[in-house]
Amino acid sequence: MIEKMLHLGSRIKARAFTLLLSSQFKKIGVGSRIVPPFRFRGLGAISLGDNVIIHRDCWIHVVAENGAAGAPLIIIKDDASIGMGATVSAARQVVIGEHVLLARNVYISDHSHAFDDVNTPIVRQGINGIAPVAIGRHTWLGQNVVVLPGVTIGEHCVIGANSVVKSSIPDFSVAVGAPARVVKRYNQETRAWEKVKPALSKA
């Protein structure tokens, strides 16, 4: 009984918090909710679809709000679930597709920190390597996954926990490792997930 009451209280708190922030988003769909505490910047350049859930302790961050008057810089589509402690940071555009599931502490960014000038502290050098990121629908990113700039992850993919995705992943793939590599693909003819043989290294 106590557990149900606490759960209900948490949902009411999340809905009230979402209502408080809703006017600041570029768009927020029906049934979407944000669980506090929530760290953010540039909500005017962020679009949420219907029934999106952003769990507690997330950081959704737009580097420059130049998307507020045009296309949103962060798009989270219908029924996506952003796990606790996730970070999504955009300077150009990050798109998270329908029914995407992010586990805890996933990090997605379309830019990197500059560090070329050894006479200037890295914290003062700004960003570089800006390239859009897209996560296809029905995809699951496991705990602590890192997605780097310029990556497209296809639809219905699984990215294993602690993986670092630095290159694009095709549809219907399972990828693991740092850097992530595809270890399984779904065969449409056999209707089965099949192991991918590792590429032979060149001498």
Question: Is residue 179 reached through a cis peptide bond, with omega within 30 degrees of 0 on the bond before it?
Answer: yes
This prediction's pTM = 0.90
Tally of CB atoms within 10 A around 36: 17
- For 86-113, letters b (16+ CB in 10 Å) and e give bbbbbbbbbbbbbbbbbbbbbbbbbbee
pLDDT of residue 203: 47
pLDDT of residue 186: 97
pLDDT of residue 6: 55
Length of the chain: 203
pLDDT of residue 9: 60
Name 198's Cβ contacts closer than 8 Å, sequence gap at least 6: 181
pLDDT of residue 13: 84
pLDDT of residue 202: 53
pLDDT of residue 199: 67
Could you tell me the sign of the dihedral formed by the alpha carbons of 41, 57, 51, 140, in that order? positive
List the chain domain ranges: 2-195
CATH assignment, 2-195: 2.160.10.10
pLDDT of residue 3: 65
Measured in degrees and rounded to the nearest 5, phi and psi for residue 7 equal -65, -45
pLDDT of residue 162: 98
pLDDT of residue 67: 44
- Rounded CA separation 141/82 (Å): 10
pLDDT of residue 7: 57
- pLDDT by residue for the chain (203 residues), tens only, comes to 666 655 556 778 888 999 999 999 999 999 999 999 999 999 999 999 999 999 999 999 998 744 445 567 999 999 999 999 999 999 999 999 999 999 999 999 999 999 999 999 999 999 999 999 999 999 999 999 999 999 999 999 999 999 999 999 999 999 999 999 999 999 999 999 999 987 654 54
Tally of CB atoms within 10 A around 166: 14
